[in-house]
Amino acid sequence: MRNPVVAAIQMESGPDLAANLARARALVVAAAARGARLVVLPEVFAWRGGGDAEPDVASSIPGPVSEFLCSLAAEVGVTLVGGSFLERSDVPGRSFNTSILVDPDGSIRAIYRKLHLFDVDLPGRVTVRESDVRVPGREVVTAATALGTVGLSICYDLRFPELFRRLALAGATIVTIPSAFTAYTGAAHWEPLLRARAIENQVFVIAPNQTGTSPHGFRDYGHSMIVDPWGTVLARAGDGEALVTAALDLDLLARVRREMPCLRHARLLS
């Protein structure tokens, strides 16, 4: 498949699960209508609300959110990365932050649980302790698709380059980074980190972000992006709900890896 079109969906998710799923569905249908073959939703696309409500909202796999994603992918015939949603764990009061990749026939191809938890205190700006309510994943996950091998990650993972090198060495040519990046850190680091991960691992990066105000009271950054292996930003959203698409030049990917064979030259491997 040459030059497949992909889409990143930017949402302002809130505490109404049904409303969030309805908006996600409308945006995925719109992306498919634009020719997208791979569509990526943002982190916590299905629900964002107060911590007290999380145990009631977290779902199993299979469960309401995963079944919604499987049905939607089959309906519109796309490969769908379900951003992330809260998946029940065996630890009381804590859930996984989980991303699933669904094939166009509606079957789950891969399940990734966020490895790196966002425990950050920037006084007066951002204070979050994700580990209080989340269980970290344990596995690096890639999935073979008709568009290429997709490496899965979520938000804060972006700051850990060793994960993306492992995804590339596992064969990833596309990396998805569904996020809820804050406005404060996003203004400083979002684009530089996305472009760096694309350049150093010679992959396409699809990074849909949340927008609006988070349940913690701070602003999300928006500015969802699609970046090519040379670090060129192919598509960029602004603020507010958005859908951006781009065609992935697979000949460019092959040329970059052939002419600048960094992955073959790497000597310090974890």
Band of residue 196 on the pLDDT scale cut at 50, 70, 90? very high
Kindly tell me if the per-residue pLDDT of 216 is higher than 90. no
Burial of 166 (0-12, 13-18, 19+ CB in 10 A): middle
Kindly tell me if the per-residue pLDDT of 142 is higher than 70. yes
Catalytic residue numbers read 43, 114, 155
Q: What domains are there in the chain, each with its CATH number?
A: 5-265 (3.60.110.10)
- Its pTM stands at 0.96
The whole-angstrom separation of Cα 207 and Cα 232 is 14
pLDDT of residue 119: 79
